[in-house]
A and B are shown apart, each in its own frame.
Chain A
Amino acid sequence: MTGADPAPQVAGAAGAPGTAPAVPTRRGTELVMLAFAVVITLAAQCVVDITVTGSLRPELAAFGGWFTALWAVMHVVVRRFAPYADPLLLPAVALLSGLGLTMIHRLDLAGEQVGATATREDAPVQLVWATLGVGLFVAVLLVIRDHRLLSRFAYTLALVGLLLLALPAVLPASISSVNGAKIWIRLAGFSIQPGEFAKICLIVFFAAYLVDKRDVLALASRRVMGLELPRGRDLGPVVVAWLLSILVLVFERDLGSSLLLFGIFVVMLYVATERASWLVIGVGLFGAGAFLAYQLFGHVQVRVDTWLDPFAYRDEGGYQMVQSLLGLGTGGLFGAGLGGGRPDQVPVAKSDFIAAAIGEELGLFGLVAVIIVYLVLVERGLRSSLIVRDAFGKLLAAGLAFAVAWQVFVVLGGVTGLLPLTGLTTPFVAYGGSSLVANFALLAILVRISDAARRPAAPPVQPGPPQRAMLGEAPTEVVRP
C-alpha cells in the first residue's frame, strides 16, 4: 500500500507504455491529437504557399520545426508536471493557434501580392509571441503546483487586475490609444493590451470571492413572481462589477472588454449561487447600461448604427462590416480554398476580423469546424470544473472556460453581424501578442485544474500527511470490524 504512494510520480516521469499507471493519464491520446493538429497546420501552410505563390517558401521548414517544437515542449511539460491533465485542451489550442498563424501568413502574402510598399511580415512576429506564450504556460504550470494556491492571492490579484485595467485609461492617449480604443500600452515599438491579463486576474478573484460569499448571496432571498430575488444590500457586488464595466466603456471606449468582464462576473455569480435571478438582474443592468451608453456616447452610437445597417454606412464606419459580410458571402459553404480568396479586403483582417478571413477561405464548413474546436476546448474546461473536488477550482475553471466561450461568441457575433462590433480578439487565433500570451496563461490554469480533477483521489498531493494518516488509523480500524 505504501508502495503505491509514489505512483503519480512514476506515471508523471515516464508514463511509459510498459509501466501502465493505475489511472490512465491519457498522455498518449494527447500526443496523437497534438501530432494531428500540427499536421493540419503544416498542411494548411503548404496549401497557402502553393495556392498563392505556386511553390513552397524556403522558411517553411524552419516554421514547421519551430511550431512542432513548441508543442513538443508543452506536451513534455504537461507529461511531467500535470500528468493527469485533460488530453484535449492542448490539441484544441494547437489547432487554433496553427490555423491563426496560417491565416496571418496568408494575409502577409496577400499584402505582398498587392505590392504594398511596407511588406511587414506579421506571422513570424506572432510565432515569437506564441513562443513567449509557451514560456508563460510552462512558468505558470511550474509555479502553481496546486490551483488552490491562487485563492490565497485573490485580493492581490484583484488589485493587480484593476491596476492593469485602469492603466491605459489614465495614460495619455498618445501611449494608450489605437483607433479610438484606449486599451493599449505602447512603448518603444512594443504594444501590449493589459486588459487581457486583467481578465485572468479578475476571474481568479471572482472565483475566490464568490466561494466565500455565495451562501449569503444564494440563501438570503425573497421570492417575487417565481424569481428568487436577493436582498437589496446583496446587490452590492454585482452593481460594483457593473459600474466597473461601465467605467471601462466610458474611459477606454472599449465595448468588448466591458461586455466581457460583466458577462463573466454575472455568469460566475450564477454558477456559484445556482440562482437564475442573477442572470435576469445582470441582463437588466446591462440593458440599462447599454441604453444609457447609446444615448450618451458617440462612439457607441456609431457602433450600433453600423451594426443595424452596415450597408447604409459603407463608406464610413460600416466599411469593415460590409467587407466582412461580403467576404463571408463569397466563401459560401465550402470557401474559396486557403489562399483562393481576397480576405485582405477587410481592414485589420489579421486581428479583429480573422474569423471573416477564415470564413471566406474555408467557408461555412471551415468556420463551423473552428467554432467546434472552441466548443471542445470550453467543454473540457467545464468538465474539469464539474469533476474537480473543491469549490474554488470549480468556479475558477467554469469562469475561465466561460471567458473563452463568451469571447468567441462576442467576436464571431461582431464579425457576422449578430452583435455590434467590439474590439475583442479571437482567442489563440487572432494576431496580437498580449491576447495570445494571456490566453496561454489561461490555458495553463485550466490544465492545472483538469490535472487536479482527473488525478485519482488518493494518494493526496502532499506525500507527507497520508503516511501519518495511515499509521494513525491502523489501531482504530483493526479493533472494530
Chain B
Amino acid sequence: MTAEIVLQIFRFGFLLLLWLFIFAAFRVVRADLFGGRAGRVAAVPPRAAAPGKRKNKGPRTLVVTAGPLAGTRITLGEHPILIGRADDSTLVLTDDFASSRHARLTNRGGQWYVEDLGSTNGTFLDQQRVQGPLLVAPGQPIRIGQTALELRS
C-alpha cells in the first residue's frame, strides 16, 4: 500500500519536475526578451560600474530595419562600428551596392556620428548623402544600399 503511494508520488512528482524545468527555461527566455534582452541589459552594467566616468544617455542599440539583415541588433558600446562587406566589419553586408568598408559609426561623448568611408554608392542619413561625420539622432534612418539602420535607446 505504501509502495503504491510512493509510486504515485514519483509519477506525478517527476512530471512536476519536468514542467518546472520548462518554467525555468521560459523565465530565462522571458528575461532575454523583455527584462532586458542581452542587448539592453548590456548597456546598464557599465553605468552602474563606472557612474562618474561618463553619462550613457544616448542610444544603446543599432537596429537593422530593412534589407537582408533586418531584425539584427547590435549593442552599442564605446567602440566604433564598421559597416561594409569586409569580413571583419561589425555588420557584414552582402549587398552589391555596399563597399567593403562602407561606413562607420563612432561614439563621441555618448553621441553617435555616422561617417562615410569613401564608399562607391554612398551612405544616406534621412535622404541626405553623408559627406563628413554627421550626428545621428535615435530613429533617424541610415541607408546603405538595400539596408536601413537606425539607433534606438
Contact = CB atoms under 8 A, between A and B. Distances in A.
B53 to A, nearest CB: 11
A144 interface: no
A457 B15 contact: no
Interface of A is mostly: helix
B45 A20 contact: yes
A379 interface: yes
B129 to A, nearest CB: 16
B66 to A, nearest CB: 12
Interface string B46-80: 10010000000000001000001101111111111
Contacts of A386: 71-72
A391 B68 contact: yes
Interface string B29-52: 100100000100110011001000
Given A23-B38, A458-B80, A458-B81, A40 B18 contact: yes
A158 to B, nearest CB: 20
B42 A376 contact: no
Interface in A56-76: none
Contacts of A457: 62, 74-77, 79, 81, 90
Contacts of B94: 211, 390-391
A393 B12 CA distance: 42
B79 A33 contact: no
Contact of A36 (B7, B19, B21, B26): B21
Contacts of B72: 386-389
B114 to A, nearest CB: 12
Contact of B28 (A1, A4, A33): A33
A372 B22 contact: yes
B91 interface: yes
B15 A389 contact: no
A170 interface: no
Interface centre among B17, B62, B71 (most CB of A within 10 A): B17
A76 B77 CA distance: 27
A309 interface: no
Interface residues of A, number: 69
B15 A334 contact: yes
A295 interface: no
Contact of B45 (A24, A44, A388): A24
Interface in B8-24: 8, 10-12, 14-15, 17-22, 24
Contact of B18 (A362, A391, A462, A476): A362
Contact of A22 (B8, B46, B62, B133): B46
B10 A51 contact: yes
B11 A335 contact: yes
A376 B26 CA distance: 8
Contacts of B75: 23, 456-457
Contacts of B24: 33, 36
Interface centre among B21, B24, B80 (most CB of A within 10 A): B21
Given A211-B94, A338-B10, A457-B75, A20 B49 contact: yes
B15 A362 contact: yes
B77 A338 contact: no
Contact of B25 (A91, A338, A394): A91
A461 B8 CA distance: 53
B28 A334 contact: no
Given A37-B21, A387-B72, A388-B72, A477 B28 contact: no
A40 B19 CA distance: 11
B88 interface: yes
A95 interface: yes
A405 B81 CA distance: 35
Contacts of A477: 106, 108, 113, 133
A455 to B, nearest CB: 9
Contacts of B108: 477
B88 A473 contact: no
A465 B87 CA distance: 12
A469 B74 contact: no
Nearest to B132: A480
A107 B81 CA distance: 55
A389 B42 contact: no
A391 B69 contact: yes
A469 B101 CA distance: 12
Contact of A29 (B28, B62, B79): B28
A369 interface: yes
A24 B10 contact: no
Nearest to B134: A480
B7 A389 contact: no
Interface centre among A340, A365, A390, A394 (most CB of B within 10 A): A390
B22 to A, nearest CB: 5
A41 B73 CA distance: 36
Contacts of A340: 7, 11
24 contacts: A4-B77, A20-B49, A22-B77, A23-B41, A23-B42, A23-B45, A24-B38, A36-B21, A37-B21, A337-B14, A362-B14, A369-B18, A369-B21, A376-B26, A386-B71, A387-B71, A389-B72, A389-B92, A391-B92, A394-B69, A457-B90, A458-B80, A460-B88, A480-B133
